[in-house]
A and B are shown apart, each in its own frame.
Chain A
Amino acid sequence: MKNFTSFLLLILFNYIQCDDNKLVVENFFKKGHTNNWAVLVDTSRFWFNYRHIANVLSIYHSVKRLGIPDSQIILMLADDMACNPRNPRPATVFNNANQHINVYGEDVEVDFRGYEVTVENFVRLLVGRFPEEFPQSKKLMTDEGSNILVYLTGHGGDGFLKFQDSEEITNQELADAFEQMWQKRRYNEILFMIDTCQAASMYERFYSPNIFAIASSLVGEDSLSHHVDSSIGVYIIDRYTYYVLDFLEKIHMDSKNTLAEFLKICPKKQCISTVGHRSDLFRRDISKVPVTDFFGSVRPISLLWDTFNGTISIIKEKKLKIEKLKTAKKYYYVPSLDSF
């Protein structure tokens, strides 16, 4: 009897285990993307723009914590606040007046810094038109399975974002760059985030599919800073980014929080500006898309078939089933011309 019970339990356990495996694998294949990238750009220089550097570095640390490796993060910083002679805390950048975390501490890989941060380099990065000899680590080596998080911060106006103190990228140029990326099969989906004044103007012209865009302010509004660090003597972080970080802090790799929740961050009461978004190009239901699709990374899982001896057939069956489950509404690539 005892044997029988234990046999039953074993079957039950096996069944549960199988079910669990099934779920994991199902989720794995449900994701439309196979890899994650992040492009994080600070476009403004000068000491009084300390907060923009802090914004970008904070987002950098968040996405890194959520699993995107440094090799898949392109970080552009237009100035070096840590080494600015005005910085009373040399070699540090903080994102909070409490100075808990030095976001410029260890483990920061900056891909483009100082005067390398130009409109030309940014567009070349997006569309992948760097010369052959350009370092591989600085290239955005995405493919048709890549989900990309693009985060921009700096000073913007209606229809443009200022780079350094000399040039600007217009919303049309940015939209064209994304279109070129789409045509070159450089992404699966893009989450475009921008924290500047009149930020919403930057996504107005987008026309390529599978882009979800969020902006810290609508056209005609200013995005404001959150607070001052009076020991450093600068505005230390922007409002929208501050509340984004507040949200991301509670997210971990397996969190189920969706983009719909992400949109609720920073209501007008907190932000003073209105957070805008554009979802018409995005084909999925945002209330079902987890934020980790963009902020996190697809973890490289290798299925070790041979350890599963007895149950392998079940998995194979399930796998066949899963293939039919792919969402119908998504865009797909047409075969390229060279297959004629």
Chain B
Amino acid sequence: MGLLTDPSAEPSKFTKILTNHNTKINVILYVVGAVGFCLLAHPAVNYRNYFSENALLPGLVHSEFRDDSSAKLYYRELLDEMKTYDNSMPYPWLLAKFRQIGLEVYIHNFTLNYPLKRSQKFHGKNVYAILRAPRAASTESLVLSVPYRPPLSIFQTTAPSIAIMIAFAKFAAKGNYWSKDLIFLITDHEQLGAQAWIEAYYGVQCGKEGVLEHGDLEGRAGSIQAAINLELHDFNLRNIDVKILGLNGQLPNLDLFNLANKLCAKEKIPFTFRGRRNMYDYRYEPFRYWKEALHTMMSMLGSQMSGVPDGNHGLFHRVGIQALTLEGFSEEKGSRTDFLVLGQLVEHTFRSLNNLLERLHQSYFFYILSDSTRFVSIGIYTPVLITMASTLILKAAGIWFTEIIKEYEKFKKKEDYFKNNKIKETNREIYEQVVKEQASLEKVDYVALGKIVLMAHTFGLLALASPPYLLDLMSYLGYNYSTETTIFVGFAIISLLLLFFPIYDGSVKKNASTMKTMNMVISLELGAIVICLLIINVALGVALIFLWVPAALFINPTENRRYSFLQKITWLFVHPLVLTTVAVTIYVVANFRGEEFEKTMGRSFQAASQAIVYSIVDSMVYGNWFYNICLGVFFPIWLLFWYLAFADLSNDVVEAAKEKKNK
């Protein structure tokens, strides 16, 4: 201490308040922030959705789509064709239909080298057709995509969407008003096909080199301005749910969401977000409304957190294309929709997007939806969340200023002592030497601290890179467990071994000043990361704020053994692997109620291990950084706090040295 500060300067009132009431201030800030966060769902705080982009002219044009009879015909034909292709696409039929309409049709081949098992390959084929804008240069385009789902797929069918797409293509081919090319894309293997197609379109590799071989495209249109993904499971729909969550928590421009919302309203199709629609009027039932809105918000954040897109649209976001998915759920009786209405919805959407002059950029990119018609903007949620996250920074500041005040007090004591006792110069020298010796014992051991921080981060990076080696090791040892089990158990063993990390270097743990500095450094690190995450992927930031920030505030080196034990238990509970398992278990229990305990546990173990493998594969194929940040950043910080929880102050080195000297 005292490197950048003058120890003789009297600390200000502010620093005194900050140090004396640090815990109180932090608790108050955190609680105020948490209450503020819950209030974000209230209509007094958030806004009603509104259009910012003038060029969209949503729904002004009169619908001209009347060809529901051919949509029906396509649907029947497709169902017949699908019977002969259990697990692949009816390519000849699709190609023929697009050719009949008069469009350019292409097949796009791609290959996935499964990253966790060498020599395992998957092949896929996308089909896409391009309708050239008749009176414009092919400089811009729009995408209408549908993921093809064969009869054996575990997901709900999308055959009606394909029928509507082809019927719309037939209709659009006659239009003379297209200012952009229209691309009709049918993807194979869900998101994999969409990812490969986007990579091939732009000639980029988003994931790990050599994992997804995206191949090349034979035909291209202009730069893609927007994309709409259809997942209509039926033509008699109960409601249309709009999915917007993209890769790494990216969201489409709010104007695109508003467009879908407005056009569904125009066609009188019930519109939901995350399957929910707030049925309460906040003027009459404010509490119920607020509860529902908060639930919607949390539901959105919960899914956004992992950064996994909830539809093909989510992969377009990374290349700057605004995209969303319209998912329609079927209803047997009393549905208001049919092929005509759905065709008109698609027509309206594309006529409106056709009016765009530049990519959607006017409205919000960062928002939390509290309802299908209201949103919380980044300007409102950031201050609230930063209030909560700032407690970590204040904790660090508190530690720093405590040291400074101590320094000052020592200095003052010394001066007073000299003044009062009028000690001779020679004695004074001796005294100062004693003080210096004591100070050297209290000195922060920066080298040891640096070593610990570096080691923790190295362990994190090693764990991050470990999965392929774990699998190799397993096959080398001759065991034949599944990939999921291997990796889950491997991670569990790594975690268990690293629980013994605090054994390293016992003397540092006993040095109070070093431990205090460490507390300060890692609190700052976590604080900075949380605040950065709030801007990149707010959902992940919110999760950290609610799970890690209070726990990290709780961990302080202490002499009280019971308190120390409580800290260790708390921190163990927020271990990334524990959190993943607990979250998955809760999900499983909620979804499979009334099962035997053993069966549920087995299921949750399986689900948790699968979740981990999926996140690894996602990071390698799509470039999702959730897994990387969990192991590369969160895990080291976890280790450092774990180390801190083992700080041993009961037997302070300074005291020990003093005692030694006294003897």
- List the interface of chain A (C-beta within 8 A of B): 46-48, 84-88, 90, 228, 230-235
Contacts and interface: CB of A to CB of B under 8 A. Distances in A.
Nearest to A50: B57
B55 A88 contact: no
Contacts of B354: 86
Interface string B160-191: 00000000000000011111000000000000
Contacts of B135: 85, 90
Contacts of B558: none
Given A85-B136, A234-B60, A48 B355 contact: yes
A225 to B, nearest CB: 11
Given A47-B55, A48-B54, A90-B176, 6 more contacts: A48-B357, A85-B135, A88-B176, A88-B177, A232-B61, A235-B60
A47 B352 CA distance: 12
A294 to B, nearest CB: 32
B178 A233 contact: no
A230 B175 CA distance: 15
Contacts of A234: 57, 60
B355 A85 contact: no
A230 B55 contact: no
Kindly name the residue among B133, B135, B175, B351 whose own CB sees the greatest number of chain A CB atoms within 10 A. Answer: B135
A86 B62 contact: no
Contact of B177 (A87, A228, A230): A87
B55 A233 contact: no
Contacts of A228: 60
Contacts of A232: 61
Given A47-B55, A48-B55, A86 B60 contact: no
Contact of B179 (A84, A230, A231, A235): A84
Interface of B: 54-55, 57, 60-62, 133-136, 175-179, 351, 354-355, 357
24 contacts: A46-B55, A46-B357, A47-B55, A47-B179, A47-B355, A47-B357, A48-B55, A48-B357, A85-B133, A85-B134, A86-B354, A86-B355, A87-B177, A88-B175, A88-B176, A90-B176, A230-B60, A230-B61, A231-B61, A232-B61, A233-B60, A233-B62, A234-B57, A234-B60
A68 B179 CA distance: 37
A86 B177 contact: yes
A15 to B, nearest CB: 64
A279 to B, nearest CB: 34
Contact of B57 (A85, A88, A90, A233): A233
Instruction: Pick the 7 closest A-B CB pairs, nearest first.
Output: A233-B61, A230-B62, A85-B136, A85-B135, A85-B179, A88-B177, A233-B60
Nearest to A236: B60
A140 to B, nearest CB: 32
B273 to A, nearest CB: 27
Nearest to A49: B54
A94 to B, nearest CB: 14
Contacts of B136: 85
B61 A85 contact: no
Contacts of B351: 233
A128 B61 CA distance: 43
B176 to A, nearest CB: 6
A167 to B, nearest CB: 18
A172 to B, nearest CB: 27
Nearest to A83: B135
B213 to A, nearest CB: 37
Given A47-B55, A48-B55, A228-B60, A233 B355 contact: yes
Contacts of B357: 46-48
Contacts of A233: 57, 60-62, 351, 355
Kindly name the residue among B134, B135, B177 whose own CB sees the greatest number of chain A CB atoms within 10 A. Answer: B177
Contacts of B179: 47, 84-86
A231 B55 contact: no
Nearest to B357: A46
A85 B62 contact: no
A84 B136 CA distance: 8
Contacts of A231: 61-62
A93 B178 CA distance: 17
A116 B62 CA distance: 34
A235 B55 CA distance: 11
A79 to B, nearest CB: 11
Contacts of B355: 47-48, 86, 233
Contacts of A46: 55, 357
Contacts of B133: 85
A259 B367 CA distance: 53
Nearest to B133: A85
A232 B62 CA distance: 8
Contacts of A84: 179
A86 B354 CA distance: 7
Contacts of A48: 54-55, 57, 355, 357
A88 to B, nearest CB: 4
A88 B178 CA distance: 9
Contacts of B178: 85
Nearest to A231: B62
A228 B134 CA distance: 25
